[in-house]
Each structure stands twice: as structure tokens, then as C-alpha cells.
Amino acid sequence: MGKVHETILEIDLKALKHNFNFLKSKLQSNTKLLAVVKAYAYGSDANEIAKYLEELKVDYFAVAYTYEGVALRDAGIKTPILVLHPQPINFKTIIERCLEPSIYSHKILNAFINTSEEESQNNYPIHLKFNTGLNRIGFNTNDVETVMSKIGTTESIKIKSVFSHLGASEDLNEKTYTNNQIKSFDSIVSKIAPKLNYQPIYHMCNTSGILNYPEAHLDMVRSGIGLYGFGNSEKEDSNFKPVATLKSVVSQIHSIESGESVGYNRAFKATKNLRSATIPIGHADGIGRQYGNGRGFVTINNQPAFILGNVCMDMIMVDVTEIDCQEGDEVVVFGKSPTAVEFSKTVNSISYEIITAISQRIKRVYLK
């Protein structure tokens, strides 16, 4: 790519393909892969990411909310889309746009049956979500009989999949907890399977589950963060390539004399003469104020430049006293080096938080 002249988010589709193929290499040939593209595909671009993954023959997509699935349909995506956290107000839209709801409570089950019957549906695909320990959403393990009995009273819906979610699959110190989740899900499957004359898809592994618990891959696995370049450990991160690189440019360089301050609230006061560079990116773009005052840094000409004072809405100022740079030089916030993991660690955060926070006003540029 040529010289950067503004703040951009580079999206490397070659890296996406690498991550997709690496994850596929961990699976049996008949195990499906679901790509999680919620939150603008983890802060990148859901439409472009989904289009490319569709070319790679991904089996399923998942989004958090209905409108995210609608946007994918509007972009021409034909692959099945699971809506992980649907609300009854959107059920008609889900049916109209051929989306598939996660059914996670008795209230949601009854409401979706009512809507599907009103819309004259037959065997509309639903996904039953069971809580095996994360304690977020999902039927309890003792709800199987009631749920299956209710589903047996209508022909408007059909179980497309049964799934759960691992709560600590990235932490090998929590193997007992995770194995108990797997056992609990196996028990749920053993109760559901005899009640059906067909086999739904069973799945519970997230990215870390794919990597750490091959015995739980079942019929399908789900990957979000892995597709975008992170494996939830330093060892596994080395197998992935970050898809997104956040870049900007040095707008102006100032000479700051000892005793002068930089930025709002005079949060930084110079104790010696220094040089500062102003960069057009700020907390409205996802670089929160917690990164200010020397905690966060960017890279200019392969050297770290720490943030001076408070992060502004649209700008940050960084210390370039020891860096040979000039106005117009490229700035890397995160990408391959430093990675989003390294950047976020400066404020005890995680890669998920920084990459999903990047504002949609930042221009997306695609490397194909």
C-alpha cells in the first residue's frame, strides 16, 4: 500500500484467509465452521468480511442482533445467519429476511412460535441455546423436557442446532470447569437426540475451544476473534495474522519548552524541552482517554511514541523527542507490531475491546 495521508483502518483479506485456513486445519473434514461477524466483524467491516468468507465457503455466520443480519442480507449474503440475541420485536423481520434466531428462554420460545404461526411458517429453523455454566443467556439443563414438549406441539419451527458457550476455554487452569461444561452439554444432547427423527447441528466451541478442546468440536465450531488474528494466548497468537491495522499520519510537530503544557486540563507539563506530534485520531475514534498520560503509545518510524496528556476527541499528541520524524510521516496505532493485544495491555484491556471500538467514521481500506 502507498503512503498514508489520513487515518485509516487497513483490512487485510489475505490475513483473513490465512486465519480461516488455519482454523479449518484444526477440524475434521465434516466439522462445519461458523464465522462470527457481529459488531461490524469485530470492528472491521462485516459486509466485506462476510463476502470474502462466503467465497471461502464458510458454513454459517453469526451476528448478535437482528439489524446486523439484515445488513448482511442487504449486502447480498446468502449463507445462513444465526442471530445470537434476538428480541421479540424483531421476530417478523427475522422471518422476512431468512435469519435464524437463537432461542434461549421460555418467553422467547413461546413468542417465536406465536410469530411463526402467525406468519404461516413450516419448519422455520431455530437454534436452542443452553446455559452450561457461563450464566449469561440460555435454557437451564433441566429445561430439556419442557422445551422439547413445547416444540412438539407445533410444526411452525424446527431445531436447526443445539448449542452452548464455553466460559473459560482459553484458560488451561480452568480445565475442570470447561470439562464439566462439555459433560453437561453431552447430557443435554443425550436427552434431545432420542426425541427427534432428524439430527440437528450440535456445537459449543469458540476460538479457544477449537484450539484447546478438539474433543468438543462436535458438528460445528464458532470462531470470532481467531478469524481476526488472535488466539487468546501468546503461543496461539503466533499462528494467526491480525486482519486490521490502524494507521494515521503526523499532522503537526510542536517544540514544547520546559514548563509548558500539552492538551486539555494541562494534564501534561513538560519538565524539559521536547517535541510533540499531533495525530488525527482520538476518543471519538475508539482511542479512549485511559490511553492518555503516557500509558498508550503509537509507532512512528518503528519507534514507540507515548501519548502526552489527555486523549482529545479527534486528536492525540505524542512524544517524538527521540524520534527522527516529520509532518506527513505514517503512524501505526496497532496492527502486526504493535498488535492490538500489545496496545490494549498498556491499560490492562484486551484486544476485543480496542478493535471493536474503532469508529465507523474511520475510512476502511482493503488489501486483497
Residues with a known catalytic role = 38, 264
Q: From residue 272, give the alpha-carbon distance in Å to each of 82, 97, 259, 260.
A: 57, 62, 7, 9
Which one-letter DSSP state was computed for residue 143?
G
Task: Please count the residues of the chain.
Answer: 368
For residue 100, give the DSSP letter: E
Question: Which of the 8 DSSP states describes residue 282?
Answer: -
CA distance 83 to 93: 12
For residue 86, say if its preceding peptide bond is cis, omega within 30 degrees of 0.
no
Q: Are 239 and 263 in contact (CB under 8 A)?
A: no
**Could you tell me which residues are beta bridge partners of residue 201?**
161
Query: 124 has which bridge partners?
Result: 157
Determine the distance from the C-alpha atom of residue 328 to the mean position of all C-alpha atoms in its chain, rounded to a whole number.
32
C-alpha cell at 105: 428462554
Take residue 211 and report the three cell numbers written for it: 484450539
SS3 of residue 197 by DSSP: coil
What one-character DSSP code corresponds to residue 312?
P
Give the start-end residues of each E strand in 173-329. Answer: 201-203, 220-223, 244-249, 252-256, 261-262, 268-269, 274-279, 297-300, 303-308, 316-319
